[in-house]
């Protein structure tokens, strides 16, 4: 391993840890009193970014299977930039708005027996998808960053080894992000 690799790998782990720490802090700090009006557009933008990333990841796979390396790289850079924007928008949204409760039709923050009965088993399905989405989103960030490091430094074999894990996880996270958005959006209180 080269000295630059060691530096970048340390940087990747630091960035991954900081992002995780910020997301955890957002869960425990109260939101500011003032909420900019654009905040309520962010879930829709985030859902659109996830959908776009899922499509771009599939296109990227097609490009590499066809040995179109340049198109593969460009597609991955675009997907990476969109994912970074997703992260910024996600953090910004959750700074101002706390979690929405699945099934909370009257938006009072408490699920009544009638609301629980109305959503039934879909609540369990939602949480299974959400929990796997969250866990794998944490896992995939360093994998994506390492795969980019190896791809751009033309360490092709090492890139392939990590992408075997990173790609399906990243695709799963993008697709389940859309599913989570579609499932929770009827319960937004805005």
Which pLDDT does position 107 carry in this prediction?
83
Which pLDDT does position 174 carry in this prediction?
96
Which pLDDT does position 130 carry in this prediction?
95
Does residue 67 contact residue 149 with C-beta atoms inside 8 Å?
A: no
Asked whether residue 3 is domain-assigned, the answer is no
DSSP 3-state of 47: helix
Which pLDDT does position 110 carry in this prediction?
87
User: Cα(21)–Cα(23) distance, rounded to whole angstroms?
Assistant: 5
Rounded (10°) angle between helices 42-65 and 156-184: 150
Asked whether residue 6 is domain-assigned, the answer is no
Asked whether residue 121 is domain-assigned, the answer is yes
Range(s) of the domain holding residue 48: 38-187
Asked whether residue 9 is domain-assigned, the answer is no
Domain total of the chain? 1
Residue in 26, 22, 28 with CA at minimum distance from that of residue 94: 26
Which pLDDT does position 188 carry in this prediction?
86
User: Cα(121)–Cα(186) distance, rounded to whole angstroms?
Assistant: 16
User: Cα(184)–Cα(163) distance, rounded to whole angstroms?
Assistant: 30
Asked whether residue 146 is domain-assigned, the answer is yes
Cα of first residue to Cα of last residue in the chain, in angstroms, is 51
Which pLDDT does position 2 carry in this prediction?
53
Instruction: Count the neighbouring beta carbons within 10 Å of the beta carbon of residue 22.
Output: 14
Q: What is the DSSP letter of 109?
A: S
Asked whether residue 28 is domain-assigned, the answer is no
Asked whether residue 89 is domain-assigned, the answer is yes
pLDDT block averages, 10 residues each, the chain of length 190: 73 91 90 90 95 97 96 95 95 90 87 92 96 94 92 88 95 96 89
Asked whether residue 1 is domain-assigned, the answer is no
User: Cα(66)–Cα(189) distance, rounded to whole angstroms?
Assistant: 46
The pLDDT tens digits of the residues spanning 66-81 come to 999 999 999 999 999 9
């Amino acid at each position: 391993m080269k000295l630059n690799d060691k530096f970048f790998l340390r940087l990747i782990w630091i960035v991954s840890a900081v992002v995780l720490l910020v997301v955890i802090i957002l869960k425990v700090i109260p939101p500011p009193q003032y909420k900019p009006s654009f905040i309520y557009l962010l879930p829709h933008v985030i859902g659109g970014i996830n959908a776009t990333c899922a499509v771009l990841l599939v296109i990227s796979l097609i490009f590499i299977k066809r040995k179109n390396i340049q198109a593969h790289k460009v597609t991955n850079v675009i997907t990476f930039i969109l994912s970074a924007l997703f992260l910024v928008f996600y953090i910004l949204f959750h700074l101002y708005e706390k979690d929405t409760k699945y099934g909370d039709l009257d938006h009072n923050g408490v699920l009544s027996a009638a609301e629980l009965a109305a959503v039934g088993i879909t609540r369990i399905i939602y949480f299974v998808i959400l929990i796997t989405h969250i866990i794998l989103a944490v896992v995939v960030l360093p994998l994506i960053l390492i795969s980019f490091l190896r791809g751009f430094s033309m360490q092709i074999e090492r890139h392939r080894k990590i992408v075997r894990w990173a790609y399906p996880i990243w695709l799963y996270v993008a697709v389940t992000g859309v599913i989570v958005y579609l499932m929770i959006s009827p319960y937004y209180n805005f």
